[in-house]
Amino acid sequence: MPPAPSTSRSRLEGGLLAAAGLALLLYALWPWLPLPGRAARPRTVVFYGFSILGEALNDDVLPEFARRWRQTTGEPVEFITSFAGSGTVTNQIALGVPAQLALLSLELDAERLAAAGVIAPGSWRRLPHGGVVNRTPFVLVVRRGNPKNIHDFSDLARPGVRVVHPDPMTSGGANWALLAEYGAAARRHPGREKEAGFEALRGVWRHVVAQAASARAARTQFENGFGDVLVTYEQDVLGDAAKGKLPGEIVYPPSTVLSEHTLVVIDKKIPAPDRPLIRALVQFLWSEPAQRLFVRRGFRSVDERLNADNPAFGRIQDPFRVANFGGWDRVKKEIVDGIWKDRVMKEIGK
Partner 1 sequence: MIGRRHGAGLPVGMLVLVLLPLILMPIAAVFVFAFGGGPGEFLKALRTEDAQFALRFSLLIAFLTAAINAVLGTWAAYVLAKHRFRGERPLAIAINLPVAIPTVVVGTSLLLLWGPIGLFGKLLEPLGLQPMFTPAGVLLAHLFVTFPYMLGSVKPLLDELEVTYEEASYTLGAGRWQTFRYVILPALKGGLFSGTLLTFAHSLGEFGATVMVSGNLRLRTQTAPLYIFAQFEAGKVAQANAVAAVLAALSFVIFFFLLRYSGKERL
Partner 2 sequence: MSIRLDQLAKSFDSLRVVKTTSLEVEDSELFVLLGASGSGKSTILRLIAGLSAPDSGRIWLHGRDVTDLQPQERGIGFVFQNYSIFRHMSVAENIEFPLKIRKVSRSKREERREQLLDLVGLGGLGNRYAHQLSGGQQQRVALARALVHEPSVLLLDEPFGALDVKIRGQLRRNLKEIQRQLRVTAILVTHDQEEAFELADRVGLMERGELLEVGEPEALYAHPRTLFGATFLGAGTVLVGRAKNGAAKLGSLSLPIPPEVEHEEDARVRVLVRPEQVALSAGAAGAAGDEPPEGNLLGHGTIVEQSFLGALRRVRVRLPAIPGTRQASPAVYGEESLLMDAVIPAGEDPGGFEVWVSLKGWHILAPPRPRLLACDFPGEGSPAPFSLLRGFEGSLNARVSLLSVTDKVDRVAALRASQTERAASHGLPDAEPVVRKGDPVDEIAAEQVQSLYDFLVLSMPEKGQGEILPGVLSALSTPLLAVQGEPDSFSRILICTAVGEPGKADVRVGGWLARRLGAEVTLLHVLVDGGGPAPWVKAHLDAGLATLRGLEVTSRTVLRPARAAVQGILDEAKEGGHDLIVLGRHAASRSGGRVRRHDFSFEILAGSGKSVLIVPPGQ
Nearest to partner 2 of 5, 190 (CB atom):
5
CB of 4 to partner 2, least distance (A): 6
Per CB under 8 A, 1 contacts partner 2: yes
3-state helix, strand, coil in the chain (%, to 5): 55, 20, 30
Per CB under 8 A, 8 contacts partner 2: no
Q: How many residues does the chain have?
A: 350
Among 45, 46, 119, 230, binds partner 1 (CB under 8 A): 46
Nearest to partner 2 of 14, 121 (CB atom):
14
Nearest to partner 2 of 4, 95 (CB atom):
4
Map 270-323 to HEC letters: CCHHHHHHHHHHHHHHCCHHHHHHHHHCCCEECCHHHHHHCCCCCCCCEEECHH
Per CB under 8 A, 98 contacts partner 1: yes
Cβ-Cβ contacts under 8 Å for 232 (sequence gap 6 or more): 138, 139, 141, 166, 173, 177, 215, 218, 219, 222
Per CB under 8 A, 63 contacts partner 1: no
Select the span of 17-25, 151-159, 171-179, 255-263 touching partner 1 (CB under 8 A).
17-25
Select the span of 194-202, 213-221, 258-266, 342-350 touching partner 1 (CB under 8 A).
213-221
Nearest to partner 2 of 2, 244 (CB atom):
2
Per CB under 8 A, 40 contacts partner 2: no
Question: Which backbone phi and psi does 132 adopt, to 5 degrees?
Answer: -80, 120
Among 91, 92, 307, 324, binds partner 1 (CB under 8 A): 92
d(CA 219, CA 342): 27
CB of 18 to partner 2, least distance (A): 18
Give the count of residues interacting with partner 2 (CB under 8 A): 3
| Chain centroid, CA 128 distance in Å | 20
Residue type at position 268: K
Q: Are 158 and 315 in contact (CB under 8 A)?
A: no
CB of 30 to partner 2, least distance (A): 36
Residue 20 interacts with, from partner 1, partner 2, none (CB under 5-8 Å by kind): partner 1
Select the span of 1-9, 93-101, 268-276, 306-314 touching partner 2 (CB under 8 A).
1-9
Per CB under 8 A, 267 contacts partner 1: no
Cβ-Cβ contacts under 8 Å for 25 (sequence gap 6 or more): none
d(CA 248, CA 236): 13
Among 18, 19, 24, 242, binds partner 1 (CB under 8 A): 24
Q: What angle do CA 96, 98, 102 make, to 5 degrees?
A: 95
Q: Are 94 and 117 in contact (CB under 8 A)?
A: no
Q: Are 208 and 165 in contact (CB under 8 A)?
A: yes
Select the span of 13-21, 304-312, 328-336, 339-347 touching partner 1 (CB under 8 A).
13-21
Residues in touch with partner 2 (CB under 8 A): 1, 4-5
